[in-house]
Amino acid sequence: MIQTIVKTGEYYDSVTLLQVAQGLSQLVGVEDAAVVMGTPANKGILKDAGMLTPEAEAAFADDLIIAAKVAAKAKVDIAARVDELLKASRTPKAESNAAAPKTVSAAAQQLAGANIALVSVAGRYAAGVAREALDRGLHVFLFSDNVSVEDEIALKTLGREKGLLVMGPDAGTAILNGVALGFANAVIAGPVGVVAASGTGLQAVTSYLTRMGVGITQAIGAGGRDLSEAVGGIMMLEGLKALQADPATTVLLLVSKPPAPAVAEKVLKQLKASDKPAVVCFLGGKAKAIRDAGGIPAATLEEAAHLAAALARGESPDEALKSLRAEHRELKKLAKKLVGHLQMQQNYFRGLFSGGTFCYETQLILSDVLGKGEVISNAPVKKKHKMADANKSSGHTVVDLGEDEFTVGRLHPMLDPTLRNRRILHEAKDPETAIIFLDIVLGYGVHPDPAGAAVDAIREAQAWLKSEGREVLFIASVCGTEGDPQNVLAQEATLRDAGVIVLESNAAATRLAGYILS
């Protein structure tokens, strides 16, 4: 039986919604629970879970839907418990001796010597708070999303005039003077300076470098829109100039999706103004212009890290590429062994991503390896490959669960794995699914055990598949380091113990999947 409550026009932050859902799930007799805003994507999730009632179907995007699947003979009324949980969320916690500052100015006075402000407030307030920080001479890490392009341009222009960085909006990651901001990993110090218009892209290259024993000076996250034609690469350029002037930085590494052509020209012109060796990974971009500017193009995040590591060690970049090609040949051998686990009707790839850049990279690699058919996504490389419905996979499908359509009234999947866990079981039940592909992202501020959370769903899917007399290949990569709170080696071991095939990079894992399917 499905019990549903719809609270009209009530908004709660995503942390509260998660706590309420967890509280309901702990009730005896409740088999499943979901607490979401009434967006189309969230309704689709409820429908796939068999929990979409007529009341929930009629809800609007600003309405709160509480749905619980209750065992047939259980005597559970979720209404009272929901009210208790929501009331508890509004109860102020005991305050410390020091009053919490309510403005940037008050915070700066309380923390003498601070030179950066991390802004994470509702999007409509974020620009004003960031501007206040800049006026006080503070660099800004703007974690907030839903900030207009016009405000972004104004903030970054002001930052440039003041000689200050404005990272973001929607800045996911930065590592400055060894301090991690946002979703970042525990990495070692070294000679490589990174500027990235990609949060998970920055996490990937810095983690890969650390696992190869090569560290970084700074890792500056410019924000995903920085290299658009409208914004003009303001912070990519300012970050690049800063690293070019930094004596500790001897190797440069730039990471992004392909910039707007005019912006790429400006960035590469600035790159050419320095004699420091540089690796440029503009995923899916053209390599010739990078070479003409004196840079070394990288096709994948993994390749970018290997090339930067080679330069930092004084080794030949060509040897690094040769080593990667040898690894590709080994992956082809492994693919031949694994393909025998699949039945004739199992032909399709189903990628469930928490990292947007990994989602993008996988689309590029998979399309290249397969050389036929279309890879569709809710965040497609090409608009013509956009999914009609992000909740319904068809053919080769790559889903970014961190896209806005899935995070309205819900925590990012790096923090809350619930949505992906539901989707794992859903994809496993499709008789055409051959591979379920996951990225596991570690670091500060993310889920304390993302591999463990995924394994619970994987084991449930495997048990169901066994009852049907077939298998699905689970393939994953883990982005992180041994120094992360979750420890990359422990997370990899958790996945392998559950029968997951684990590779050290998203690119390698995607190639293996592509070789199996081809």
pLDDT tens column, 259-316:
999 999 999 999 999 999 999 999 999 899 999 999 999 999 999 999 999 999 999 9
pLDDT above 60 (res 94): no
Facing residues of 7 across strands?
64
Helix (H, G, I), strand (E, B), or coil: what is residue 178?
A: coil
- Give the whole-angstrom CA distance, residue 305 versus residue 214: 9
Share of the chain above pLDDT 90, in %: 73
Neighbours of 34 (CB within 10 A): 26
Hey, what CATH class is 104-316 in?
A: alpha beta
pLDDT in tens, 502-514: 999 999 999 999 9
Q: Would you say residue 143 has pLDDT above 60?
A: yes
The stretch 212-231 carries a mean pLDDT of 97
More confident residue, 412 or 390: 390
324-517 folds as: Rossmann fold (3.40.50)
| b/e sequence 297-328, b meaning 16+ C-beta within 10 Å | bbbbbbbbbbbbbbbbeeeebeebbeebeebe
Same fold, 2-90 and 324-517: no
Mean pLDDT over 425-441 rounds to 97
- Give the Cα separation of 122 and 169 in Å (integer): 12
Compare 243 and 411 and report the one with higher pLDDT: 243
**HSE, side-chain direction, 13 A CA sphere, residue 430:** 21
Calculate the CA dihedral of residues 493, 495, 497, 499 and round it to 10 degrees: -140
- pLDDT at site 42: 84
Cβ atoms of 129 and 121 within 8 Å: the answer is: yes
Contacts 24+ apart (CB under 8 A), 117-125: 117/141, 118/143, 118/181, 118/182, 119/143, 119/144, 119/168, 120/144, 122/146, 123/147, 123/169
Q: How many Cβ atoms are within 10 Å of 79's Cβ, its own excluded?
A: 10
**Bond preceding residue 259 cis, omega within 30 of 0:** no
Q: Is the pLDDT of residue 97 over 80?
A: no
Which of 99-113, 208-222, 344-358 is least confident? 99-113
Residue 339 has pLDDT above 60, yes or no: yes
Q: What is the mean pLDDT of the chain?
A: 92
Distance CA 518, CA 337 (A): 13
**Tell me, what's the pLDDT at 28?**
86
What is the predicted pLDDT for the residue at 90? 67
Between CA 201 and CA 180 the distance in angstroms is 15
* Strand pairing class (2-7; 173-176): unpaired
Residue-wise pLDDT tens digits, 464-506:
999 999 999 999 999 999 999 999 999 999 999 999 999 999 9
The answer to whether residue 461 scores a pLDDT higher than 80 is yes
Tokens of 75: 């005597």
Per-residue confidence (pLDDT) for residue 371, from 0 to 100 = 84
Whole-number pLDDT of residue 13: 67
Of the pLDDT bands very low, low, confident and very high (cuts 50, 70, 90), residue 91 is low
Question: What's the CA dihedral at 279, 284, 290, 292 to 10 degrees?
Answer: 150
What architecture (CATH level 2) is domain 2-90? 2-Layer Sandwich (3.30)
Distance separating alpha carbons of residues 146 and 170, to the nearest angstrom: 8
Q: What does the pLDDT look like over 310-319, one tens digit per residue?
A: 999 999 999 9
Structure tokens at 387: 């999914």
Q: What is the pTM of this model?
A: 0.87
> Residue ranges of the domains in the chain?
2-90, 104-316, 324-517
pLDDT of 49-76, one tens digit each?
788 999 999 998 888 899 998 888 888 8
Q: Is 480 helix (H, G, I), strand (E, B) or coil?
A: coil
